[in-house]
Structure 1
């Protein structure tokens, strides 16, 4: 069926108009100018379709009872190239039947023309009534303008709507703020998301619109210029919001033009492309894309700040609450009073108080110490005064107040964020300025460097009420200001070419001097920042059953006090990386490292060493378990050959079960045994693969990883031992079929049979890897993989093995290919730990040559390195 002439005409009009807007956008025209151009284009198309839809009813007097209204983004005239067109056909009761006919024509022709319409038919009373109960309807209709039809009908409706909103402003404001809070929870509660939605994330366009909507409810005005003239919007906020609005509109237009459709999510690949297109050059240690995103976060932060305070102003507490606070308040000193929930400065003292940085920090310290909120009126006065204050060298009383603030958990993290918004932290720690909005261009971190640091402080202070072991360790720390300061600046060395831990340690030393910390505290602060990754490296990348690892870590830590500081710091750092990063698996590894190191400090016994009394105790318990089961002599012989590392990390009953399984099947044809159980300590399935080997376990690990991976299992850790003639391998895996608990017997039998079959027939091809859709995983293209693939050899950490660390972006079947490459190079594998950070892996392998020697020769290392790097390609 051929298209109607009106549709063909409007399609061509849209195509030409969008192309013209795109050309102007590419030439650098402001985002507001492009959006106005697009709004004019939409007006032309919609009016053309309206005229066509109403042509046959030109003589119908019911037409006088209709008007077509643009609302939402179309009403604001800040459209992006492929925005929807929100329309309302306002009707009188007499014209309702005609409205239905015209609406059908409008919807059909606009959709066919290439504009997605959101069209409703309402009477004035219905529109108003729905707005009072539905904040989404209200916020859309607050941005209304007449397109066509009866001017008088529109004027009567909109006057009633405006006055009704202002009469109900308190409730409406609460409803729209709550609706916006709910939307932020879905699209990003922080401004510092690394893949923000430029329309809906916090600090994005929606928060600018929130100011307009609140302005309409309270003052009957949505225009920012008019809100400024009314004194409702501070001049600094107005200026910041206008700049952010232009930037966000340009960015949203860029996204729409690039995709050729509506697109509001700024993914990492697009960030890189836009940074290049917009001419960002980068600086030393800062990529162009990171520089571009710093601009984005700076704008978003200003919007978030302005919209938050505009909303707080409009939704000030009811007078009864204010009276209650005043009646039950007490005097702190001549300037400050504190009530049951808030702390504030007396009105007559506020002008001078708000300009004094030491006084402001003292107030914040009191608020933190007593867990009170600073009243909105007091804080707004401080905020406005601090914006006009020129940075000065901190005075001793300023430093003392800042350190006092850091000494209590209370509401420390929110208060530090406020200081950051006012740029006060960087007056005390100048290097903190560089962290502002600094993007960490990897998938491991979800937030910018500054946001991550505040979240780390928050994660630590939340331990105050944690009844578990980490909470007890946090509460035992006597100098919490040291821990909180270390967490605040632990990543301050990022954005430089040099290793951020080394840079950060230098900055920590300078910070300690600037804050007049005593020498012992200064030394510990520098050490904490320098070593803040030591727990992760030991726990996630090494064999904790190896006494050399525990001894090396204990030597690095030096004391129980430093151990507890470092472990609490590491856990808080891990939690603040992003949701779901601090898994039970990782927390248990850290706990295991802590307990082994603590036992060494307390008793001098080195877990896993020949003189460890627990080793002999475990051996005796296994022997007793075997005796009660009337085990064969083969089982007793196997127990004598069990290495110390296996005795150190296995529960006696589990180890006895494994020995019995081998002894019972020693005379059968199958060379491979595969056992499975749920390891509750790691919340993972543990597959034990035991296979008789002629001499060395070469290739068994690779085939086993292939069998497990093609069964759709994610291998988290592997431990490889030789017990006499047996390769004795443990694999901890996550199974998507049972993510929260043990897998079914049918599932474990299926996997175990596959492992045995593929190991007993080594020439059989591996099954294909399953394709699995992961809705929680964002797959990024190759160009965002800016971290290098590398192989590192370590011959110093342990005596018997070379530790090979492999860093790369994860791929399907990568671990199997790595293991196969090691087997092809005739390396004996003794231990493997797989550490995946969202999309990046840091796999560690303990290897040796067939003769038991390390990989010392540089040519041999290069040969192995080349083979491992080749598997990525």
Structure 2
């Protein structure tokens, strides 16, 4: 290594150590960035002088200029940022530029700086910028470093003038490029691992303002844009604060990893929260408090940049004249055109300061599905931000409730009210939800963002003409209660107490504040308190059990409540995150709805001895047996049918059950062959179903444990299991999905030989009781997505329920998921000599909430506390062993 390279490396290392010391002392992000930019300047110039030393007498040097651009040009570097450089060259200096550029690239890399170096003539640089948004946005931040100053000045003056001439097209290009980048990196407000540079509301959106500012005004500096009147003072203040905060976070990521790193993963979130002194609060973890600050800053950036973009892309004069000519009067101050609604210019100042008028305008915009014109919203935004918060008057409340009563563009308008903190004037408790992160892999959105998405999921149902959920939504006469409930259903989060209970108390205050009637108040409180009950019953209980349906129906009480609650549940689930509202879960919700609605409509309790559907199923099975069974096998088959429990008849299709009974009758049973395993695709729940039937001398749980182990070893995730006893047979059902594919709305292409091979392995393992349990397959996941156990902040627990049903103890098991966990739990319960009747497996990405219906060997429940504790410890112990 050449001596001067070693010197540069030492200079770089010492400079980074100095910057790290400043960072640890809590220096502002911009101050550390400036220190790093000075360091990079010194190193780059040292290498530049070395590169040109042998060409000192060459006149062509005057035709070269070394230019920093991008982050290096802005001087907002992070510790391990690359150095974006352009060697500007005249035509006569092009050969010399190539030689010097080669030396620069080599030496910068050797000393520890990743260079991005291009050679461009002024004409090439401009031409590329007018067609490539990435090149344009980078070169707007150009800064002279060395070489021909006159060459650089001539280029940049021409560049600024050319950009202003092409501003409309350039702004369109960079906004579109930013939209694509945002889409790739996700929305910050729901990313579990946000990118502090590229996600929505992150550093790129601050830079977007700078780039648009350059195209429109020839300026990138935020303070100059403020002085030009292009950037509101409040936006400038929020932007500066967010800029400093996110730069500091980015520095922390670089220093911690020792390399360029912009993804804020969950373990690092926890580490930073601790290092920066976050203490947490009542019901809020330190990491959630830190991320609340993070999301608060990104939200402010997102709103301000969106406003700035709208302002820069405001409609042309001809378009505004056409909209005005086709408009009609809605009130003394408001007019509405084909696409937008606005306030007359002469009334705008007074109108914008009136909260009831603003809410009334938003209600009209929602009723007629019109966007509020940019100029009108600009005035409202500025006025509302300067207005002192105050309790809403009756007109404001009426307008707000009117806004909530229709679908229209409700979610977007609520987000605008949130931006201006008007929702918090109407519902002060909403403040606690702002930017509140739920630190788990299940919830992908902050609580406030989740609430708006839940409202949006509801309003989208207005145009859903195909599904039952859409019909139910349209049947709801008073939609404002549903929309209000969705807006506040998680308002109790962030407290130590159960969020549903806290939410009910807050909902009562909200109802009183909004002057709701006593019946509406009671409905709102009930929806908030019970908004999880459908999920609990549908995902964790046996819906073929009439006791479960009867208990749920008693809790709901009426068809109106049932429909409101089911629609609320659908919207809440949809808003949790992409892929959470699977068809599997929606089918379970539909099944619960249909069973409960049938009970309300007819009085027939599904699954009960008096259920006429069971008689119809039994008769259809009997018809199939008579039609397809031989005379020799028919008596045995009909005897099996008579032994069928009501729960099995309630949940099974007649054709499938008849086929299973006939398979049992035709099977050659002996001491070595005691198990049948059949498989097929279940269209009703869109999953592969394995049926395991074993002749047993006594009821055992070993069959379930071995079947789950065999299925897991073959790469299947078990979504649900049902265990029945039919005479001398254990009759078990397993619904599974390929762990590599997951749930799908389409039937997979099933390889019959593969399915047969899996069925044989299941049967062989169950029949060979001395054979060791197979190990589950190793799974691979990208390194960047793997996380240590330190992020698992929710406790593992086992809960016993002896109240819900008469015959069994319901055991609910909560833990973070592990490969092979279910089969080990099953084995642990088998070793505890428990009989299993039903199991439902509910996996939320990284967490499981599994439910088992069990009894002792004599058929009794698990009542004794010591016995419960023994079982609990046996189940919990397997989590750490997996």
SS in 1 for 2:719: strand
Alpha-carbon separation, structure 2, partners of 1:18 and 1:766:
54
SS in 2 for 1:208: helix
Alpha-carbon separation, structure 2, partners of 1:546 and 1:849:
19
Alpha-carbon separation, structure 1, partners of 2:437 and 2:187:
17
Alpha-carbon separation, structure 2, partners of 1:192 and 1:235:
28
SS in 1 for 2:495: coil
Alpha-carbon separation, structure 1, partners of 2:456 and 2:240:
32
- Give the match for residue 688 of structure 2: 685
Alpha-carbon separation, structure 2, partners of 1:736 and 1:284:
38
Q: Which stretches in structure 2 are left out of the alignment for 5+ residues?
A: none
- Give the match for residue 116 of structure 1: 114
Q: CA contact under 8 A between 1:194 and 1:448: conserved in structure 2?
A: no
Matched, 1:284 2:282: yes
Q: 1:190 deviation in Å?
A: 4.8
- Give the match for residue 383 of structure 1: 381
Moved more, 839-848 or 728-737: 728-737
Name which of 670, 673, 687 aligns with 1:670.
673
Q: 1:478 deviation in Å?
A: 0.4
- Give the match for residue 792 of structure 2: 785
Q: 1:337 deviation in Å?
A: 0.2
- Give the match for residue 485 of structure 1: 484
User: Over residues 218-264 of structure 1, what are the superposed CA-to-partner deviations in whole Å (9 max), with x where a residue is unaligned?
Assistant: 11000111111111111111111011111110110001101111111
Moved more, 681-690 or 739-748: 739-748
- Give the match for residue 716 of structure 2: 713
Equivalent residues in 2 for 1:459-498, closer than 5 Å: 459-467=457-465, 468-498=467-497
SS in 2 for 1:832: strand
Name which of 66, 76, 92 aligns with 2:90.
92
- Give the match for residue 584 of structure 1: 583
Matched, 1:697 2:700: yes
Alpha-carbon separation, structure 2, partners of 1:443 and 1:642:
41
SS in 2 for 1:231: coil
Moved more, 760-769 or 703-712: 760-769
User: Over residues 597-656 of structure 1, what are the superposed CA-to-partner deviations in whole Å (9 max), with x where a residue is unaligned?
Assistant: 111111111111111001011011011111111241322221111111111111111111
- Give the match for residue 8 of structure 1: 6
- Give the match for residue 517 of structure 2: 518
- Give the match for residue 608 of structure 1: 607
- Give the match for residue 648 of structure 2: 646
Q: CA contact under 8 A between 2:700 and 2:830: conserved in structure 1?
A: no
User: Over residues 467-509 of structure 1, what are the superposed CA-to-partner deviations in whole Å (9 max), with x where a residue is unaligned?
Assistant: 2110000000000000000000000001111110001011111
User: Over residues 727-784 of structure 1, what are the superposed CA-to-partner deviations in whole Å (9 max), with x where a residue is unaligned?
Assistant: 1111111114665423211221121111011111122123332222245993321111
- Give the match for residue 272 of structure 1: 270
Matched, 1:660 2:675: no
User: Over residues 707-746 of structure 1, what are the superposed CA-to-partner deviations in whole Å (9 max), with x where a residue is unaligned?
Assistant: 0001111110000111111111111111146654232112
Q: 1:786 deviation in Å?
A: 1.0
SS in 2 for 1:119: strand
SS in 1 for 2:861: coil
Alignment size in residue pairs: 871
Q: 1:276 deviation in Å?
A: 1.1
Q: CA contact under 8 A between 1:672 and 1:759: conserved in structure 2?
A: yes
Alpha-carbon separation, structure 1, partners of 2:682 and 2:660:
14
- Give the match for residue 341 of structure 1: 339
Alpha-carbon separation, structure 2, partners of 1:769 and 1:696:
26
- Give the match for residue 559 of structure 1: 558
Alpha-carbon separation, structure 1, partners of 2:188 and 2:306:
13
Alpha-carbon separation, structure 2, partners of 1:216 and 1:702:
66
Matched, 1:302 2:300: yes
Q: 1:189 deviation in Å?
A: 2.9
SS in 2 for 1:348: helix
User: Over residues 455-477 of structure 1, what are the superposed CA-to-partner deviations in whole Å (9 max), with x where a residue is unaligned?
Assistant: 00000100001121100000000
Matched, 1:573 2:580: no
Q: CA contact under 8 A between 1:99 and 1:121: conserved in structure 2?
A: yes
Matched, 1:731 2:738: no
User: Over residues 38-80 of structure 1, what are the superposed CA-to-partner deviations in whole Å (9 max), with x where a residue is unaligned?
Assistant: 1111111111111112111112222221111110000000000
Q: Which stretches in structure 1 are left out of the alignment for 5+ residues?
A: none
TM-score, normalised by the number of residues in structure 2: 0.98
Equivalent residues in 2 for 1:235-634, closer than 5 Å: 235-467=233-465, 468-631=467-630, 632=633, 633-634=635-636
SS in 2 for 1:606: coil
Q: CA contact under 8 A between 2:161 and 2:218: conserved in structure 1?
A: yes
Alpha-carbon separation, structure 1, partners of 2:642 and 2:214:
82
Q: 1:127 deviation in Å?
A: 0.5
Distance 1:738 1:260, change over 3 A: closer
SS in 2 for 1:349: helix
Alpha-carbon separation, structure 2, partners of 1:512 and 1:331:
34
RMSD over aligned CA atoms reads 1.2
Q: CA contact under 8 A between 2:19 and 2:36: conserved in structure 1?
A: yes
Q: CA contact under 8 A between 1:809 and 1:839: conserved in structure 2?
A: yes
SS in 1 for 2:345: coil
Q: 1:110 deviation in Å?
A: 0.9
- Give the match for residue 803 of structure 1: 810
Q: 1:393 deviation in Å?
A: 1.7
Alpha-carbon separation, structure 2, partners of 1:639 and 1:154:
91
User: Over residues 777-831 of structure 1, what are the superposed CA-to-partner deviations in whole Å (9 max), with x where a residue is unaligned?
Assistant: 9332111111111110000001100000001000111101111110000000000
Alpha-carbon separation, structure 1, partners of 2:741 and 2:170:
45
Q: CA contact under 8 A between 1:191 and 1:304: conserved in structure 2?
A: no
- Give the match for residue 34 of structure 1: 32
Q: CA contact under 8 A between 2:775 and 2:820: conserved in structure 1?
A: no
Alpha-carbon separation, structure 1, partners of 2:778 and 2:533:
36
TM-score, normalised by the number of residues in structure 1: 0.99
Q: 1:280 deviation in Å?
A: 1.2
Matched, 1:870 2:869: no
Q: 1:849 deviation in Å?
A: 0.3
Q: CA contact under 8 A between 1:440 and 1:449: conserved in structure 2?
A: yes
- Give the match for residue 773 of structure 1: 780
Name which of 137, 154, 157 aligns with 2:155.
157
Q: 1:18 deviation in Å?
A: 0.8
